[in-house]
Amino acid sequence: MRMRPTLSWTPPEGLPPGTADLEPVVDALGAGGVLVLSGAGISTESGIPDYRGEGGSLSRHTPMTYQDFTGSAQARRRYWARSHLGWRTFGRARPNAGHRAVAAFGRHGLLGGVITQNVDGLHQAAGGEDVVELHGSLDRVVCLSCGAFSPRRELARRLEEANAGFSPVAAGINPDGDADLTDEQVGDFRVVPCAICGGVLKPDVVFFGEAVPPARVEHCRALVREAATLLVLGSSLTVMSGLRFVRQAAQAGTPVLVVNRDPTRGDTYARTRVALPLGQALTTVADRLGVPVDPAAESGPGHPSGGLPSRSAAR
């Protein structure tokens, strides 16, 4: 069963206002057992834009849907041209203070886990462990025919060889690693097939209109059931794939705290929404808890393995 794509959400009147008071977050993390649910907003300070914030990419860009990708060779050519160019920038992004603070909370035993809606691998690059990639990762590729996985760096090498000299200037980069290119810039970009069976290659991410694998959803639901608090970081919660965990926590009486500068679709379920920049907010929380955040903590671009990440948490 595939989700209907949800690209926008208009905040209704009467939502609780945001606050600058971090004490509820400090108290929750100090007690431990916090489950983090992160979104694109935690990566904006690493140079990756979000979808729906001020200047978000949805104002200029419609993400690829699963139906378009699987149904059209031209759509796949456009996607891979834009993604190949975007990967050069996206793959060089580095963790910011927010990622490093979350990793520090984990090292000090304050977290019950991290669920991220992001596909950038920056939580792991900051040293985070037990990270569930709800929407997959751009760091790996899957064949839609034989199911084989391969590292994105290998596909990047093959695409470079097949498209020598391809270096158009993009108007911008999007949260899914997609660069803004015109059809003229895409031109006759050559897409390469699976090296094993010749099938269609797809990034191992959940496109809009595609369902999150049921086993992954159930794993996340189990984490929510075990959590003392659900802490949402940098997500508008517009997409149901993340909002359902907020609803689950609220229905079970588990406190929900949100740190996001703009109103979210989950605010009615939250005890509070802190409207502060994430890097600043989480660094302040770490300071108040006496948790040192290593400013140099980084495992390199993408995943700490430098190749295919562990699929135990990702699948």
Reference 207, options 62, 10, 306, 88; nearest CA is: 62
**Lowest mean pLDDT segment, chosen from 187-191, 222-226, 233-237, 298-302:** 298-302
Q: Taking all residues of the chain, what is their mean pLDDT, rounded to a whole number?
A: 87
pLDDT the model gives residue 181: 85
Residue 236 annotated as binding site: yes
Whether 135 is catalytic is yes
Residue whose tokens read 């794939």: 241
Give the mean pLDDT of 302-314.
Answer: 36
Q: Measured between alpha carbons, how far is residue 227 from residues 35, 110, 115, 254 in Å?
A: 6, 11, 12, 7
Q: Which range is least confidently modeled, 162-166, 220-224, 279-283, 308-312? A: 308-312
Token code pair at residue 301: 């671009």
pLDDT tens-digit profile of 172-218? 777 777 788 888 988 899 999 999 999 999 999 999 889 999 999 99
220 labelled ligand-binding:
no
151 φ, ψ (degrees, to nearest 5): -70, 145
Among candidate residues 99, 195, 208, the one with its CA nearest the CA of residue 151: 195
User: What is the residue-wise DSSP string for 221-262?
Assistant: HHHHHH-SEEEEES----SHHHHHHHHHHHHTT--EEEE-SS
Closest CA to 81 of 56, 64, 57, 60: 64
Task: Please count the other Cβ atoms lying within 10 Å of the Cβ belonging to residue 21.
Answer: 11
Residue 151 belongs to a domain = yes
106 is in an annotated binding site: no
The tokens for 63 are 């993400």
Determine contact, residues 122/92, Cβ cutoff 8 Å: no
Tell whether 107 is covered by a domain.
Answer: yes
269 is in an annotated binding site: no
Annotation-wise, does 115 bind a ligand?
A: no
**How confident is the model over 19-62, as pLDDT tens digits?**
999 999 999 999 999 999 999 999 999 988 765 445 444 444 56
User: Mean pLDDT throughout 156-170?
Assistant: 90
Q: How many distinct structural domains can be found in the chain?
A: 1
What average pLDDT does range 13-17 have in this prediction? 80
Q: Is 308 helix (H, G, I), strand (E, B) or coil?
A: coil
| Max Cα distance, the chain (Å) | 57
Please report, for the domain that includes residue 153, its CATH number: 3.40.50.1220
pTM, two decimals, is 0.86
- Give the tens place of pLDDT for each residue, 64-84: 889 999 999 999 999 999 999
**Any binding-site annotation on 50?**
yes
Q: Are 116 and 215 in contact (CB under 8 A)?
A: no
Beta-carbon contacts of 96 under 8 Å, excluding residues fewer than 6 positions away, are: 42, 43, 45, 46, 122, 279
* 215 inside domain: yes
Give dist(CA 47, CA 94) in Å, integer: 9
Which structure tokens are listed for 196?
């094993």
Query: What domain range is 197 assigned to?
Result: 23-314
Question: Per the residue annotation, which of 84, 135, 219, 303 is the catalytic one?
Answer: 135
pLDDT of 295 reads: 77
Residue 10 domain-assigned (yes or no): no
The upper half-sphere exposure of residue 80, i.e. CA atoms within 13 Å in the direction of its Cβ, equals 26
Q: Tell me the average pLDDT across 255-270.
A: 96
Assign 149 to helix, strand or coil. strand
- Residue 4 lies inside a defined structural domain of this protein: no
Residue 7 falls within a domain, yes or no?
Answer: no
Structural domain contains residue 64: yes
Does the residue 238 lie in any domain?
A: yes
Return the top range by mean pLDDT from 46-55, 104-113, 290-299.
Answer: 104-113
